[in-house]
Chain A
């Protein structure tokens, strides 16, 4: 069981609100990621970080921003939520395990913007 936590699990919010999705891990992993997943569709990488003060945009264009001030925390912020942001957001962290990099996911935040 991975020690990576996301809050809230569910969020229903009105258009135009600013929201922050929290993600924290207690495994000391340097690398962290945010994925977006719609029902029945593949995961898309929207942000990643290789360590403190490192943030990069992923493959999918996103209006969200992230920060990495501490190793354990990787919050994602939407300055002005829109209905198009309705989706599941999955946070993950990874660590080298032999030749491979093992990826651990949180339980996700289901966001609904009305």
Chain B
């Protein structure tokens, strides 16, 4: 069964600290893995997209890693800010050139305290 599991379910950190969110998947075939940020009451916004040949990709203070062999990805947030408080969703696609089938995780709810 194709699945995307994220951990932790929720996380509280202090402003300025770093954190790492995890994503494990069993989707096959694998085409790409996406990380989205979803603010409360808003739609998800894309942070990174990585294909199987990419190990790491950065977007400002966000750095995503991918290990296609172990089917694991992580999203590292550096020097967190209050505006980083959101749900972070891992999404795996089984096809690249078309949208294919997208498998969504349930997200990690991150709260950054001052």
Contacts and interface: CB of A to CB of B under 8 A. Distances in A.
B is a partner of A? yes
B46 to A, nearest CB: 7
Contact of B97 (A2, A45, A96, A106): A96
Contacts of B93: 101
B42 A99 contact: no
A102 B96 contact: no
A107 interface: yes
Contacts of B41: 9, 107-108, 110
A21 interface: no
A72 to B, nearest CB: 17
Q: What's the interface size class on A, roughly?
A: 20 to 34
B98 interface: yes
Interface in A4-61: 4, 6, 9, 31, 33, 40-45, 59
A67 interface: no
A104 B34 CA distance: 12
B49 A102 contact: yes
A6 B36 CA distance: 19
A98 B77 CA distance: 26
Interface string B12-39: 0000000000000000000010100000
B45 A105 contact: yes
A73 B51 CA distance: 31
A92 interface: yes
Contact of B44 (A6, A96, A99, A105): A105
B43 A40 contact: no
Nearest to A31: B99
Contacts of B101: 59
Interface of B: 4, 9, 32, 34, 41-46, 49, 51, 89, 93, 96-102, 104-107, 109
Interface of A: 2, 4, 6, 9, 31, 33, 40-45, 59, 90, 92, 94, 96, 99-108, 110
7 contacts: A42-B89, A92-B43, A100-B32, A100-B49, A100-B96, A101-B93, A107-B41
